[in-house]
Structures are given as structure tokens and as C-alpha cells.
Structure 1
């Protein structure tokens, strides 16, 4: 059975029709909220038997009025129609946080949506307000209402209606009265609801809360509350921080009188990172709002043992990866400490402070620089001491380093006297020009610390967390003491004298900078790093850096062009070296066809003739005897007759040779093919260097450009040496050389070319 198809021509041009649904048209389903009845009045009770559970709907997000859609849906679902503002649509809980559908967010409705038809936001607000106002003997019922309220407070539409219904004022009164102060399960969701409601733009701000409200919230932080809970503590800290940063001066004073800085330290030991971040944030807020005297007390607490232990044992606990928010707050506290050091660096010390240092016994010990009484009482020594103190006073009067130096030296002499005593003892054993003065070096070391720690100003890319500031009660003093010991150790390792002070300072700066970049976790770890980065280690490090820099310079376009320009000459030099090696001659083993041939005929001596046109081959009696050459068996092979040269292991094919011994098959050496009907010569040796040298030399003689790996490495090495020598006195390699301007006359020609110049001139000027 056959079938046929018929076609016809259209009477008019066909038009393409887009059958896709417009983007603003979405289709989905709406289900009835099973709990809608509790939000409606009693006379609007909805029977499950008289209503439908869901319906399908098409929604035009761009043109359809939302209220009309809700009315149409309520009719389709057979709901009562007593008032206009009864119903609303909500997203599902896992979609847009279950918010009410409004004109502002209806663009978020997706194709295949699933919405809930429920009571209006006004009905929700009235429901929660009435439940909060009602007296109930069942505490669990109140807790359920408060937990349910938390889920709705993040919706701005509900929050607005809740404000209008008086719900926010009711929450405040419940907190101020201490209604749930003994019940953490109720108070915690109460504060969470309050925080969520205040996130929206409402009629009340944090500056408008009462002092009684602040006191009640503060009790949850300072430990005056009867019970404590992480959720309650977190909400309380966040509320107090928001009130503190409001624009009300009176509320700020109330907060600072109720919440003392030291009461926050114990909360840093919590395992909840949210609490740690909030506590650190509140600490920084308290400091920023405090007066000068209060700031001084806060800084003392930052250096106290309880704060250090809390940060070390909990915040910086090793298995935990530091949260970014916590790290940023720690950086802010670190900057507070650095700013305090900056104030000292910008202040000149008083004469009394300088005099107190001059009276320090350990700094004036006779064993410091001159142990023997004769030397210590000599006019030269006394004059040197007077100059040291005079220069020290001039240095510390400059700001920076200012009083930061005097405080560092004073604390060093008090807490680390052994360090100074050891320096004095070693200096007393040195010659006069090999000693260094702590008084003269200390201001320079403090200046380096100011620079490396960015004490005076924050770096452009922001501060980085330096953990050692939180691992010591005296972080700057401990850093300074380690720095002094580092200078003393490096001075000894460099065998320095008074003329090398600047060089030693430069070295110790690099040592400390490298170690700080490794972000040591404690002062002990920093000291280990400083010991590891000794002066010999730094020399090796500088050598590697120089090599890396030279390698980077050799990768530039200019250096690459120069390398290609020099390569032919270097290759020719290497080839010439290989040919000269052939002229020195070499003995090789010789393959024989019969085992009966005497051992004296199993070696031969090859060398290149001086004219580089012939290879001379002579049998020799033994491999060890260089003089037992058989002149009668000498033969010459013309270089021009050589067709091919090969090298390698196992290149003697057993099947093509009369040698069936596997030992012969695995021999290494050189194979030379001579003549049109090639005669093959096998030069056997196990020395790879000899094989490569002869292969390179023979290839150079017959015009083959191939080079062995060893020869290529030698070419690259010689190229690098030549290039480095040429670039030795060039600080910066230009990317391109500008062309000089065209000459206007012939004055640039040498005098020897004067005749040529006259001839050229006459030629140009002649018709």
C-alpha cells in the first residue's frame, strides 16, 4: 500500500507565531492555609467541608491587581466575603521566608509557584496583640505565641500592622516590667521579636527606649539576671550595642553606666562564635564612646590577664578557624593598642623621665662597655659615655619615637635586666670599635618597630591581625626585648664594628619583617623564627632572591632578543671546543668477528687531524698502553666521506651483525658510516661524556646542527654568563632603544673616510 503527500503554495506570506507564554504570565497553585481560622473573627469560622483545599491559577505579574486576584481566589475557595481586607497571599516558608505577597515583591513569583491563601497582615497583627494582652495561666501557651511571633516579625508588611496595633509597645512594657525575667524560654524569643521589628523603618528608634528598658536588658549581660542563655545573651548584647550607637547622648550614658567593660570579658569564653563577635563589637563600641580617662581604663583591661586568657583559650583556640567577623573586631582592638603606642611615640619625654633612666643602675654598669676600672675612669671612656647620653636625649626628644623609647628602655631594665647584663658583659670583652651602645641603638630599633607595626597610621590595605598582641600582657615590650637580643646576636654573627651599625640595622629590620609576615602565634614562636633566620640564613636567602631576580631579568623581551643574538656565537664556540677534544684523541674498544683474534687487536686509537679534514685510526696493543700504537695499521677516513653518526645503548642490531652474543648487543658507543656503500665502524666505550663529546664533534665536522643534552646545557650556561656580564652595569633594561635623529651633515664620519665623503658630496652635488 503506497501513500502520497501533496503540497501547495501559500496564497500569502506565512508569519512566525511565538507560542511561548509571556514572561509576566506565570502559572501555579494556591492552597488554603489550614490555620487561617485562628486569625479570623469567630463569626468567620471556615469549615473544611465547605471550602476547597487548593486551586490552580494564572497570574499576570505586570498587569493584574493583587487585591482582585485575592478576591477571585477567595471566591473560588468558597471563603466568607464579609469584609474586603480579610485575606492575603503568602509565600511558602522555604520561599522568600514566607513573606506576604505585595506589589513590591510580586515580581519574585516564579513559574510553577505555590502560594498560601491566609488571613491578612492586619488580622495577623490583631491576633498576636490580643494573645499577648490576654492573661493565661499556661506558660507554654505564651511561649508558643512568642516563638510564632518571631517567624512573622521579619516581614515588613506584618511589622507595619503590628506597630499600628500597639504590639511593639506591648513588647516593651513586658520587658520593662520583668514579666518573663525568670523564664529564659519566653524572654529569648521576646527579645528576638523586638530586634526583628526594629530592623524595619518604624515610628520608634532605639534612642526612644526608656532607661528602665536599658537596665533590664543590661542585667542579662552583667550577670544580675537569675538565668542565662546563649540566645538571650546574644539578643541582649545586640540591643545594647544598637542603643549605644544611637544618637541619644543620655541613652549612651545610661548604657555605659550599666554595662562596664570588664563585665564583658567572661563572655569571650563562650563557644558560640556569634556571641564572641557580638561581645568584641560591643567592646569596641564602648571604647569609641568613652572619654579619655575611661579609655585609659579600658586599655588596662585589654592588657589584663583575664582578657588575654579569654582570647587565647577561646577566641584564638587553635582547632577553630577564625571567623572573619571576629578577626575584624580583633583587628579593631589591635588598632586601639597601636594608637595608644602612637600617643607615646608622639610625646616627648619629660626631663624627669630621662633623668630616671640615667639613674638606672644596669644602664650605668662599669661592666657594660669597660669592665676594668682603669678603662672606666679614663677620660676617653667618660667622654664617650657623655656623648652617648647626649645623643640619646636628642633622639628621644624627637617625635617619633619620643617617650615610647624611654618607656621601653625603662621596662627592659626592670623586667629583663639579664638581657642588658649579657650585652654589657660581651661588650666588655670586645675592642672599643667593636662595641655597640644600647642607648644609641634603642631609638633606632623603636623607629623600626613603629614602621613595621604601622603604629602611627593604618596601612593602605588595612591592618592585618597580629596574634602576638593578644598573647602577652606587654606585647610591645616583649617585641622590643626580642629585637634587642636579635640585634646583639646579628652584630656578633656579622663581626661588626661601629662603622657597620647601619648595615646591621638593615639586616635586623629584614629579619623581623620576614618573621612577622609568617604570623607567629606567640612570642616564643617569634623568637624561634628569629633564631632560625640568622645572618647566615639571611645570606642564603638573599642569594636565592638575587638568583630569582636575575632569572626574571633574563626573561625580559630585551634579554630574550639579546640571547638569540648571542646564541650562534656560543654554539660555534661549543662546537669548536668539541672538535678540539677530538684532536686530543681517544682509545675505544673494537668489535672483532672471531674469538680467536688476539686481545692486542681489540682496541684502536682515533683522533682528528690538525687540518680537521681526516680522522686517523690506529690499532693499539692494549687499552692501558697509550704508546703501543701500530703504525702499520694506521688509516685515514676523510671527513667528507662520513654519511652518518649514531650513538646510544643497544644500537648494534644483533640480526644485522655477525655477533650473536648478547653482551655485544648491549654495548654502548659510536657508529660511523663511511662511503656510498657504507663501511661501518663501531667505537665502543662506556663513558657517556666521551660519547657525547665525539658525537657533537663529528656532527660539527659533517655539518649537522644536532647537539647533545650536555652540549645544550653548556650553551645555555655560557649564554647566561655572557648575558649577565653584559647586563652587569645596567640598572634597568629598556624595552626598546629610541632611534637617533637623522644627521644633517657628514661631520659624524671618521677622518679616514674624508676622501669618500668628498666623493659622495661631489656625486650628490653634480648634475
Structure 2
């Protein structure tokens, strides 16, 4: 007969005693359970004891979380949270430095538990930590444990960051600004300031005033990766919480101080590989920098602005200075106007009598004018060649420079997501962005010349303008997907991807589609599908068995905390638990929490997830919604909430969980991989390889030749 659903079998340990194996009745008050356990070990004052998990974060068992106890859990009888809080509150005030240090170290560990944290804060424990910092008598290990405990207690959001005393904040700022301080103290101090910044406008202004950008740049140049990370986190927090004008000023100053070179040298090309957190911050910095262009992108040209009209005239004079009239007084105003109209037409403006009208549409607005002026100033010979070469062609075959520049600027804004909010999880930044000043403008200079080159390769006419732009856009996106490390490499690759190559790629893709649409081929596809879907199912389950590192994200800030989840080899239990920073893979034995697969009731994704309903549905959370999924389990409908690190991991996990639930795999990744496998299998079947044995092992690699005299170094310029 199976045990009642309200009864779980657990083990309870205590130092120096024989463990107890009990059947815990979840309907019985927890105080009564603790008293029964104490009675077995002849312990009085049962109210001074509590149960606590042995593994993981060693959370205290309370009436609110006791339902999470599973069969086979191992608990420990220990001092109750209120007694432990009282003892540590007394210990951190001790004049004995060893007692004080030990108490603070234990406080830092126990403060992760919400029950203990509440008891300690209720005893005015935070005030005692403030005193330790404000008095400034303790340094090194004691100070580091104090700051760590303070951070853990503040994570529970029982106390507002705005309640911090000016003396405490002043000390924290001094730890950041003082050279030669203990690195662990500086890291924790930077984290405290990072948390203060989004809490209130007053704290933002205080941190911005006291911790200079120069000081943060100094921290970015150190070799300690964790210190770099915390400094970058504070810098990003300041930028994200600044007003538009403040952000523009800060980015201008950082540009003057060559932050790009610091990042390129000390972070991207550091000896140690970059972590996910730093990759995210670099992505955010890239987004913030590109979004500085948004104001110009959304500003239409003002035909009455003298400055903007002068920029248009500068474009005209730069291209046609030899053709311009020698003396304004020797010709009539009508003649000068006629020359201007002709030259603006040759420049490629559609409304050449009033070119400002072409720049009235937003986006790209004035950003297109800025790009044209930048190109004419920094690549004058290429600019003149582009304009003059096309003005000498037949009207139908000329590539209009101005129209091309306006549309290309708009395309680049869309490709680089200019004006879009930063993602909360993305890590994809362009290495070449930090390797080049004026990245957007330099990229434009390469791409506008590419447009002219592609125009000629396509022998395009004015009617083909949109087709040419579509090809150029494809050339740019295909090249960016290769992740070039520099603009020079981007230029080389994008020019190599000429129109003929684009046609070849399109033809290959089209032929592949046509091959797969014949009736006999479609029938063969259907016969092969079940076997290949089973292969994908096996791969998904294997991936779940390997496990994935997930990050905890709150609505307040991006968190440093990580947890790991993996499926047991027999596919019957999900194991999960918190892990430390730097852990790439956690063995099953180190993951204390378990969910039997048989208890999983439902898989939820996106807005259906409980943690997404809490976060709201704003535009800023769109990327998180695409990565969020939850599982409901047990009769009581508990939830385990996930935010996948990438869309790829999201697809693997949702597919794997659907397989465990006996359902169809629904992700786009499944369809993509099924198409690839079907294509490969179909090609093998259509090769008609009957009676030809395909070896299981690859053929042996032959010995190298005795000499290499047949080798010829072919250079591209010899074509």
C-alpha cells in the first residue's frame, strides 16, 4: 500500500547523534515535529531548534516552504534562526577579533536564508554592520565579510537602499577610490554602489559625483577579471540610469578617454577568456553607443536651418568643385539655381530642386546627411569617384548616391538595432565595434561603396533600386553573421561576397527546395521522418542529461547568482541547485533539489510563466519572454522557473521536456534540424548506393608528399 501523499520519508541528522529516519506528516505543525525529534535525542527547549537542509544553501525549514521537502531529503537539527541571529548579533560586537571574524563569516553564509535574514534585521543587525564600516577600524578579512553579509541581507529587499547613512556611503566610495585596497573589498564596494544607482535619483547623482569615470577606467585596466567585471557593471548601471543628456556627456567623455582601446586591449584581448556577464555588459555598451545616433535618426531636416543647408552645399561643392562657376557675380541667380539643381540631380537626390525634402523622412533623418558628409570628408577620392562615375552614365543606369545613402543608412539602423532598448540577457556584440572609432560611419563608408559595386555587377537601372538594396542588405547580414573581428576583415569578406556569389547561394537554396518538392521525394521524406525525429529526441534527452547553467534575473538588476539543472541518466529525475560563479558543469551529487519526471504536469512558455506575469509585459522584457519557460509539478502545482541563456538552449530544453511528457517537439530548432537531417539522408538515398558498402571508419590519411614543388601561391590581384 503506497504511503499517504501528505507523508514523506526523510532523514534527520545532528552532530554527535545517530540519525533519525522518520515519516514526516506534512499536516502536523512544524513545531510539533521539531519537538518529537528533540524528544528522541533528549533535548529540552525544542523552541530553540529548527530543521535545515544539509545540502545546497542549507535553507531553514518553515511552514511556508515545508511542502518542498521530498522523499529522501536529508535534514539537520540545528539552532533556530532567532537563536542563531541573536548569537551572531552578539558575536559581531565582540572585542575578540577571531570571534568577530568567525561570526561575520558565518553571518555572510547564513544571510542567504530569508528566514534568518528577517530575524537578524529585526534585531537591528544592519545598524551594527553600518557601525563596523563607518568606524573604519576593521580592514581586510573582517571588512570583506561585513560587506558580503550586508550584500546578502540587502538582496532580500526587506530594507530600502535609500536608508543607507551618508557616512556608510562615504566609506564605500572611499574603498572604490583608494588605490591598493584589498580587491575583495573593492569588488563588494563596487557591487554595493551598482545596487544603489537604480534605487533612486538621489543615490544615482551621489554615486556619479563621487566615483569618477576616470576611476572606473582605472579599474578596467587591472588584470583581476572580477574587479574588471564589477567596475563595468557599475559603469553600465550609471549609463542606463542617466538621462539622455547625461548619457551623451558621459559617452563623450569616455570616448575622449579612449574607453574603446581599454576594452579592446584589457578585456577582449586579455589572457583569460571572457565570461558571459562581461559579454553582456559589452553588448549593452555597444547598444548604448549606437543608440546615441537615435536622436539624429529621428530628426528630419529643417529646410530653414543654415547649418544643415551648408552641409548640403558642402556635399555639392566636394563633388563638383571643378565644375562650379568661377565667379558668382558673373552669372545670374537663375543660372546659379539651374547649376545647383543639375548638380543635386547628379548627386542622386530625388527632389533635386529642394533636396531637403529627401531628408525629411524619419528614420533615417539627419543621420543619412551625417553619413554622406562623413564619407565625403574621410574618403574624398571614393566620394568623388562614386558621384562623377555615375553622373557620366546614362540616366537610367546611374546609381543615385543620395538616395542610396538614405536607404542604406536606414538598413544599417535596422540591422544594428539603433533606437531599440537593450536586451536583458543578450551577449552578442561585434568584436570589430571595439576595434574602430566612429564604427557606424566607417561601416557606412564600406557599404556605400559596396552598393555602387553591386549596382554595376547587376547592371541595374533605376527600376532595380530596391532589388540592389535587397542584395546589399543580404551581403551585409551574411558577412556580419561570420563575426569578423575587424572592419578591414569585414570589408574583405563583404566585397568577396559579390552578386555572382549571392546568386549562386540563392540558386543552391532554391535547387534544394525544388529537389525536396517532387512527389516521390515527399513520400520518402515522410517515411524517413519518424526515424530522424527519434534521433532528435535522443539528442535532446542527452543534452538535458549534460545539464545547463541558468542565471537568476530579477526586475531590479541583472544578478550574479547561478543555478544548474540536469536530467538523471535514467531520465526519471530532474536535479537542480545553486552553484558558484565560474562553475561550468555541476555533478548530480552536488545538486540537492529533485523533481521526479512523473510529477511534472505541464510545460509553460513565455507570458504563461508565473515569473513572466510578475515581470510585466513591457517592451524591455520582450527578449526575456522569448527565453522563459516553467514546469508545474506535484499535486499542489509548484513551479520551477527558467530563463534560458540563449534561444538555442530554450529550444533544447523545451523540446526535451516535451519528450519527457510524451508530447511533440515544437521548437523552430527541431524543424531546422529535421530539415537538415532529411536533406542529408535524402541525398544519400538518391545517390542510389545499393550494393556499395559505406565504411564506418574514415579512410587513413596518406603520407605527406616528398616535396611541395607543385604548390603555387595564387594572389587575388593576378586574376
Displacement of 1:289: 2.5
Displacement of 1:370: 10
Q: Is the 1:371–1:428 contact (alpha carbons within 8 Å) kept by the matching residues of 2?
A: no
1:659 aligned partner:
none
1:212 aligned partner:
167
2:131 aligned partner:
173
2:144 aligned partner:
188
2:50 aligned partner:
88
Cα distance 1:489–1:102, how it changes in 2: closer, same or farther (>3 A)? same
Which of 31, 49, 56 is the equivalent residue of 2:14? 31
Displacement of 1:117: 3.5
Displacement of 1:227: 0.6
2:155 aligned partner:
199
Which of 237, 255, 264 is the equivalent residue of 2:190? 237
CA distance, structure 1, for counterparts of residue 205 and residue 321 of structure 2:
57
Superposed, 1:267-306 pairs within 5 Å as: 267-269=219-221, 278-301=230-253, 303-304=255-256, 306=258
- Map Cα deviations across residues 437-475 of structure 1 (whole Å, 9 max, x no partner): 534432232233233333354699998544433332211
CA distance, structure 2, for counterparts of residue 360 and residue 555 of structure 1:
62
CA distance, structure 1, for counterparts of residue 222 and residue 25 of structure 2:
48
Displacement of 1:143: 2.7
Cα distance 1:457–1:158, how it changes in 2: closer, same or farther (>3 A)? closer
2:596 aligned partner:
none
- Map Cα deviations across residues 310-339 of structure 1 (whole Å, 9 max, x no partner): 332344348876544444433333332333
1:632 aligned partner:
none
1:579 aligned partner:
none
Matched, 1:132 2:85: no
Which of 409, 412, 416 is the equivalent residue of 1:453? 416
Tell me the SS of whatever aligns to 2:78: strand
Matched, 1:534 2:498: yes
Q: Is the 2:92–2:101 contact (alpha carbons within 8 Å) kept by the matching residues of 1?
A: no
Displacement of 1:20: 6.0
Tell me the SS of whatever aligns to 2:353: helix
Which of 403, 406, 414 is the equivalent residue of 2:366? 403
CA distance, structure 2, for counterparts of residue 407 and residue 294 of structure 1:
22
Displacement of 1:169: 1.0
Displacement of 1:365: 4.4
Q: Is the 2:298–2:365 contact (alpha carbons within 8 Å) kept by the matching residues of 1?
A: yes
Superposed, 1:330-479 pairs within 5 Å as: 330-350=282-302, 351-360=305-314, 363-366=317-320, 384-387=342-345, 388=347, 390=353, 392-423=355-386, 426=389, 435-457=398-420, 465-479=429-443
Q: Is the 2:319–2:383 contact (alpha carbons within 8 Å) kept by the matching residues of 1?
A: no
Alignment TM-score, normalising by the size of structure 2: 0.62
Gap runs ≥5 in structure 2: 327-334, 525-685, 689-719
1:756 aligned partner:
none
CA distance, structure 2, for counterparts of residue 370 and residue 431 of structure 1:
22
CA distance, structure 2, for counterparts of residue 196 and residue 263 of structure 1:
26
CA distance, structure 2, for counterparts of residue 423 and residue 112 of structure 1:
76
1:117 aligned partner:
77
CA distance, structure 2, for counterparts of residue 160 and residue 332 of structure 1:
35
- More displaced, 339-348 or 323-332? 323-332
CA distance, structure 2, for counterparts of residue 217 and residue 339 of structure 1:
32
CA distance, structure 1, for counterparts of residue 11 and residue 299 of structure 2:
73
Displacement of 1:403: 1.2
Cα distance 1:319–1:506, how it changes in 2: closer, same or farther (>3 A)? farther
1:680 aligned partner:
none
Tell me the SS of whatever aligns to 2:314: coil
1:645 aligned partner:
none
- Map Cα deviations across residues 138-197 of structure 1 (whole Å, 9 max, x no partner): 4x54333322221221122222222233322100121222233xx232222111101111
Displacement of 1:129: 1.7
Displacement of 1:355: 3.3
Q: Is the 1:55–1:77 contact (alpha carbons within 8 Å) kept by the matching residues of 2?
A: no
- Map Cα deviations across residues 38-87 of structure 1 (whole Å, 9 max, x no partner): xxxxxxxxxxxxxxx335353433244433444444454344x4x56433
Question: Of the two structures, which has the highest relative contact order with CA contacts closer than 8 Å and spacing of 6 or more?
Answer: 2
- Map Cα deviations across residues 266-317 of structure 1 (whole Å, 9 max, x no partner): 4344566655554444333322332333111123245456321233234434
Gap runs ≥5 in structure 1: 1-17, 34-52, 561-711, 715-767
Q: Name which one, 1 or 2, has greater alpha-carbon Rg.
A: 1
CA distance, structure 2, for counterparts of residue 98 and residue 158 of structure 1:
11
- Map Cα deviations across residues 468-508 of structure 1 (whole Å, 9 max, x no partner): 33332211111110012212322343455666555433432
Cα distance 1:413–1:25, how it changes in 2: closer, same or farther (>3 A)? closer
Matched, 1:545 2:509: yes
